[in-house]
Amino acid sequence: MLVMVLIFGMTVVGCDNGTTSESDTWSNITSLNQMNGTWKGSYSQNNRPIKDVVEEQGGTWSPEMQTMYGNMRVTSRTDITLIINASAKTQATSMASTASYSGGNINIIWSMLKLSLESLAEQGVTVTTNDANHSITMSYSFPAETLSDAEITEMLNSGLQINQNGTKIKVPANSLMQGIPELIFYKQ
């Protein structure tokens, strides 16, 4: 069961978001005030072999996993909303991640995968499943938390950049978590 939860988690972090436009000029963010407001970003990937996802995240694709999952494929998308209140020094985040599984042994393991992920509801995650397309959506929110001066400094030193007109923030690959690609957030 734990392997199935990890597989879902890995499918929603190892995705490509299309990165940046050539017309933007980027500079390092030097103040939390530059990030004040609501920002939205997303990343997705279509029809990835589950084997590639496991290996990309440092897992070992064993003969047992091959037997269990077969040549399963996954299409995934994650939408992220980030709210920064610079004057209050707070940050709130919400995410919705959807993974649709196809091929391989999905018809055999779907009910087990679904049950293992539905148990996350006990941890405050909203889990919605769709049997028709073998998809699972997980939504969760992190309420506004006060950022310490050290956390703000760490954020500003992480390589975050903003475009010339303050409408996009670029987050470097792997800076939020290992395996997450470069992300672009758009000011709302």
Q: Of 125 and 41, which is predicted with more confidence?
A: 41
Whether 117 shows a pLDDT value over 70: the answer reads yes
Of 8, 45, 49, the residue nearest 137 (C-alpha): 8
* Confidence (pLDDT) at 120: 75
3-state secondary structure of 53: helix
pTM: 0.78
pLDDT at 174 over 80: no
Model confidence over 67-76: pLDDT tens digits? 988 999 999 8
Q: Whole-angstrom Cα distance, residue 19 to residue 28?
A: 17
DSSP assignment string, 69-105: HTT-EEEEEEEEEEEEETTTTEEEEEEEEEEEEESTT
- Examine the pLDDT at 159 and tell me if it is beyond 80: yes
Instruction: Work out the number of other CB atoms within 10 angstroms of the CB of residue 69.
Output: 26
The pLDDT tens digits of the residues spanning 55-100 come to 877 788 999 989 988 999 999 898 999 999 999 999 999 999 999 9
Q: For residue 115, give both structure tokens.
A: 């049950």
CA atoms of 176 and 180, how far apart (whole Å):
7
